Amino acid sequence: MEAQRIQELKGLVEFCKLNPHVLHTPSLAFFKNFLQSFGARIPAFGGSSNDGEDHEDKKPFASRKRNAPMEDALNDDIVESDAELDNSDIVEPDNDPPQKVGAVEVTEDNQEAAQLSKAKAMAALAEGEVILIHSGSDLDEKLDAASKASCLSVLYFTATWCGPCLYVGPVFTSLAAKYPKVVFLKVDIDEARQVAFKWGISSIPTFFFIRNGEEVDQLVTVDKNALEQKIAQHA
C-alpha cells in the first residue's frame, strides 16, 4: 500500500476515534462492519453503546461559547424559560409609511447607497470558488463582506495531514461551484492556528454556517449529502 494511502487510512481511523458517530454514516457502513468483524464495540448513534453504558448526547449548537474549546462548551447547562407571552395588548398599525430609521431619513439616495455597498461586497467575494483564509483579519473581512451581501458563509476547517479532509475537500469545492451565492471559506488549522483556537476546533473536518455575522449551525462530517443539506437549509 502506498505511503499516502496508509496516511489517509490512519487519518480516517483517528477521525473515527474522535467522532465514532460518523461510523453510522451509510457511506462508511463497510468500514463499520470491518471493525465489528474484529470485535470492535461502536457506540450506538444518539445515546447508548454496545457496552451497555449510556453516553450523554452533545448539547445543541446554541449552547456553544465562542473562544471556548468544544468539550468545555458542551458542559454548559441549558435552562428552559417558563415565561409566558402576553398577547392582551395589541397595537393596531397606522397607515403612514415609515420615513426614518433612527435619525436617518429613508430616501432613494440611501437605497442606492445600500445597493452600491452590497455590490461592492459581492465584488470582494469569489462566486463559485473556495476562498482561502490565512489570518483572523482575513476571515473578518470576508465574513463582513458576506454579511453586507446577505450571503450565507460556510467556514471549513481542515489540515493537509487529515485523511477525512482529503476525501471531503473536493466535495467542498464542487459545492462552491454548485451554490455560487454562498460564500465558501477554507482554513488550514496549521497555517491559521489563532483562527482555529478562536473557533474552538477540536476535530476536523468541521464546518460552521454563518449568516449576518452570526453562527446558525455547525457540522462535523465527511458525508457529502449531510453537508449539502445544511447548505440548502440555510442558503
* Angle subtended by helix axes 163-178 and 3-18, to nearest 10: 80
The Cα 212–Cα 189 span in angstroms is 24
Integer Cα distance of 178 and 82 in angstroms: 43
CA distance 165 to 157: 9
Cβ neighbours around 6 below 10 Å, total: 11
Distances (CA, A) of 158 to 10, 63, 104, 190, 211: 16, 24, 44, 9, 21
Residue position matching grid coordinates 500500500: 1
What letter does residue 54 receive in the DSSP assignment?
A: B
Q: Strands (DSSP E) along 25-129, which ranges?
A: 100-101, 104-105
**Strand 153-158 versus strand 130-133 pairing type:** unpaired
d(CA 154, CA 102) in angstroms, rounded, equals 32
Active site residues: 162, 165
